[in-house]
């Protein structure tokens, strides 16, 4: 596995790979890798001739400076994990390498970047879109792999690809969970074992909400779920919303054949966790 830190070197290597007629799979990450990231890498490895992973903690997608500062950085361990998983190239740029000049691009995603995560993290998805577009321009992959845990981000990336007519296939991959059901996340590293156990209330509540959908209206399900999570020690719900899985807009009534997903964001000891689950698909 090669480790490179400049855009020019990355492009030079990948131009040779494409010239040989090989397909390129890409997994963008912010590091602090866990089994969920590695599962994306393994999907790419199976479906492409050459797999690229990036590690870049993107500062412009953080609307909270403290959150950026506390984001775990484990580069040496990350590189070891990727090498064991069969990654061919890891791109680890600096902030200056990615943003040589002040970035002023502003995307219009309609309602999609203003609801749920967008409501509580203003500017977050614009930062995500900017860095993903830059990375796609550098790597020019045939396929790119994103986890379904960040479901709204996945929707933003798909819209970005349509807006710019980028010739890449976006491949969604299932959320990886710990044995307890807690969705794997780099932020989990900031939790104690006891706090992780408490945070499993998110997964349990999502499962129970899916079961209650047969007897309760969407809003009633939301209210019940919020009460369940807030009752757990140290937990505080930011939002729990049942939305259309395609438009991400709120669902007021159940409709046969409609894909519906429940999305949640909550805090435990200052650490923000997100999760989701399909209610109907």
What is the tens place of the pLDDT at every residue in 155-211? 999 999 999 999 999 999 999 999 999 999 999 999 999 999 999 999 999 999 999
Q: Is the same domain home to 139 and 222? A: no
What is the tens place of the pLDDT at every residue in 84-98? 999 999 999 999 999
**Confidence grade of residue 280 (pLDDT, cut at 50, 70, 90):** confident
How do 143-147 and 24-29 pair as beta strands? parallel
What is the tens place of the pLDDT at every residue in 216-254? 999 999 999 999 999 999 999 999 999 999 999 999 999
Task: Pick the last residue of a domain from 173, 207, 242.
Answer: 173
Asked if 44 and 51 touch (Cβ cutoff 8 Å), the reply is yes
Segments forming the whole domain that contains residue 200: 186-276
**Is 37 among the catalytic positions?**
yes
- Out of 37, 88, 124, 142, pick the active-site residue: 37
**Confidence grade of residue 101 (pLDDT, cut at 50, 70, 90):** confident
Domain CATH code at residue 244: 3.30.1300.10
> What residues contact residue 72 under an 8 Å CB cut-off, 6+ apart?
31, 32, 186, 187, 189, 190
Q: Quick check: 281 pLDDT over 80?
A: no
The total domain count for the chain is 2
Q: Is the same domain home to 127 and 161? A: yes
């Amino acid at each position: 596995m090669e480790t490179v830190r400049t855009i020019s070197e990355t492009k030079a290597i990948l131009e040779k790979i494409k010239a040989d007629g090989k397909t390129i799979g890409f997994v963008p990450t912010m590091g602090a890798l866990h089994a969920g990231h590695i599962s994306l890498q393994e999907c790419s490895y199976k479906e492409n001739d050459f797999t690229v992973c990036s590690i870049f903690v993107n500062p412009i997608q953080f609307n909270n400076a403290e959150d950026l500062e506390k984001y775990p950085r484990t580069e040496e361990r990350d590189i070891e994990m990727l090498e064991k998983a069969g990654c061919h190239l890891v791109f680890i740029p600096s902030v200056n390498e990615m943003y040589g000049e002040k970035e002023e691009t502003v995307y219009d995603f309609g309602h999609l970047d203003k609801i749920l995560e967008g409501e509580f993290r203003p500017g977050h998805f614009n930062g995500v879109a900017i860095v993903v577009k830059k990375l796609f321009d550098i790597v020019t992959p045939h396929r790119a792999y994103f986890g379904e845990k960040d479901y709204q981000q996945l929707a933003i990336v798909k819209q970005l690809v349509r807006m710019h007519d980028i010739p890449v296939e976006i491949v969604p991959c299932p959320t990886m969970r710990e044995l307890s059901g807690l969705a794997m996340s780099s932020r989990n590293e900031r939790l104690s074992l006891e706090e992780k156990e408490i945070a499993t209330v998110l997964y349990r509540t999502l499962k129970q909400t899916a079961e209650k959908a047969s007897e309760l209206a969407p809003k009633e399900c939301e209210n019940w779920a919020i009460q369940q999570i807030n009752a757990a020690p140290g937990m505080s719900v930011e939002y729990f919303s049942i939305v259309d899985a395609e438009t991400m807009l709120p669902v007021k009534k159940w409709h046969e054949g409609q894909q519906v997903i429940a999305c949640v964001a909550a805090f435990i000891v200052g650490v923000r966790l997100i999760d989701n689950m399909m209610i109907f698909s």
